[in-house]
Amino acid sequence: MSHIIPSLFVKNQGDQSVKIALKLTTARNRVVVRLTGGCGYMSAEDARDFLSLFENAFSGFAGAMLFGGTRMIDKQNASQIVPGITEIPSHIREACPNMVSLGVVPRTADINITEHGLVVSESDEDAYRTIIHPNQDMCLLVQVSPDQPAIWDAEFEECLQITKDLRDFAEFKSLLVVYNGGGVTEREILATTKRGWPVLLIRGSGRKADEYASNSEFLKTHPNVRVAEKNSDNIRQHLISFGMLPPEKLRLVKSRA
Amino acid sequence: MSAKTVTGQNGKTVLIIQDKKEQLPATFALMATRAARKVCIRISGGCKGMNTDDKKAMLEFFQIAFEGFEGMIWSGGTRQFDKDGNLDPMVTDVPGVVAASNPNCVALGSTPRTDVLRLVEESRLVLDDYGTAPNPSVNAILLVQDGADGKLGWDGDLDAAFGLMDQLAQYGGFHRAGVIAWNGGDITHDEVMRSVKRGWPTYVIKGSGRAADKIAAELEAGTLKVSENNLFVVDKSDPIGLRQMLISFGFIQSN
């Protein structure tokens, strides 16, 4: 596993962080991918395969990546990781040393310091607890104030602001990649498409990604949204066409050099 | 093209306002990262006692020294005009002149708000009663103010300016920061000493006048109290000498 020691930042909503903004620009390429969605109703087979799906698709990635920043661990066996979309960036990061990953976590409750890590969410109904993911370059914890927690939407709202700053002031290209997802993901899709920024929906991943990928009227009125099939090659081709990865020939030449 | 024409990137000069009690705006820091190479250098000083020919020679000096520069270059962020509205070149015009012939670099400026901002003529923004204007040849200017009602001295932006270069070096992957002093007074002396204490390569241009000459003379006489060996003297007749130093410290990539 990675030897990265994540830096943890805490901020109130509405504040800016120069440190985080600058550290994101240390990625080799001026591109930022926001990975969003979920794993609801995912089959056991999907849960096993989706890490390699993205790892292969993003091979050679050297931009910034924004994601949920958490990990779910089994309550009975803390070494057992519950598959989730937030596991994807650390797998990509293992193979891509020139990228920078930032997890954005809304502080929706008090945080508990435990032997398993910083627990950000836990309920009696769930068989898992949610901790800050240990494998990321930086993690940004967002709250309204020390006494007032944030809501889950704060994650994508923060990511939208970071992306806007990178696009407007540092000449970054951006892409929202959507895999599965529910109500919060839907609000992020709509907020991103409204701004005219590029969006890639993974067809076959489930729920909201599928719903919008099959909505021909939505796709027709939003030319900034494209649909990729749930296979590495197809996702990769879309990443290249959006400028998130260099063209294959160029990449091969660079790797040989 | 008039001296008032905006020549910043994409025909815009972005103005970002910071209260001195607040932290540096991330948006301004991000503008610096547009540079193709992660190096930054601040041109400090003034033009007191210089005639028109001296000022023209100053701009040519920096044009020669900075040929091929691809980093972030910045200065005071203001522009002066003569009584006919023509450009009265100052040190603060150096970043824009360098950027004009080096498209991969980024030119920025910082300036304190020393008076109430006002609009004159065709809604043109000026910073004081003397017609000092935001310099339209740079990509962005950081205007530092002391609250809505307060006024700062001309050194009111220095903490923010050096704070930006500190942050670029610490978090933004910038591998070199430095200061060049041309002429100038007490504020320039302060900037030189701040840079020297940080261990950054610092250059004073001998023959340019006032503070730069005084520091150069003291350094050469061995009477300047600095323990670091990162302060260098370059003669104003030797832009190639400065260029070679900039190359040797990695500010400019050698061909």
Tens of pLDDT, residue by residue over A73-127, are: 999 998 999 888 999 999 999 999 999 999 999 998 888 999 888 999 888 888 8
- For domain B9-248, give the CATH number: 3.40.50.450
CA quadruple B186, B190, B195, B197: dihedral sign: positive
For residues B89 and B43, give the distance between their C-alpha atoms in angstroms, rounded to a whole number. 14
Question: Of B6, B43, B21, which Cα lies nearest the Cα of B144?
Answer: B21
Mean pLDDT of A234-250: 91
Shortest CA distance from B32: residue in chain A: A170
What letter does residue A27 receive in the DSSP assignment?
Answer: S
Class of A7-256 in CATH: alpha beta
**E-only strand ranges, chain A:** 7-12, 31-37, 64-67, 70-74, 81-82, 100-106, 112-114, 117-122, 128-132, 138-143, 173-179, 199-203, 225-229
Reported pTM: 0.91
Q: How far apart are CA A31 and CA A172, in angstroms?
A: 5
A22–B24: do the CB atoms touch at under 8 Å? no
Helix (H) or strand (E) segment spanning residue B221 = helix B210-221
Residue of A nearest to B168 (CA): A22
B27 vs A: CB within 8 A: yes
Give the one of B27, B171, B173 whose C-beta lies nearest to A165's C-beta. B27
Check: CB of residue B195 under 8 Å from CB of residue B225: no
Q: Please indicate if any CB of chain A lies within 8 Å of the CB of B185.
A: no
Mean of the per-residue pLDDT values of chain B: 95
Q: Residue ranges of the domains in chain A?
A: 7-256
Q: Which helix (H) or strand (E) is B78 found in, with range?
A: strand B78-79
Around B176, how many Cα atoms within 13 Å sit in the side-chain half-sphere?
Answer: 24
Sequence spans of domains, chain B: 9-248
Q: What is the pLDDT of residue B70?
A: 98
CB B215 within 8 A of CB B191: no
Band (pLDDT 50/70/90 cuts) for residue A142 is very high
Q: What is residue B160's predicted lDDT score, i.e. its pLDDT?
A: 95
Q: Which two tokens stand for residue A68?
A: 């949920």
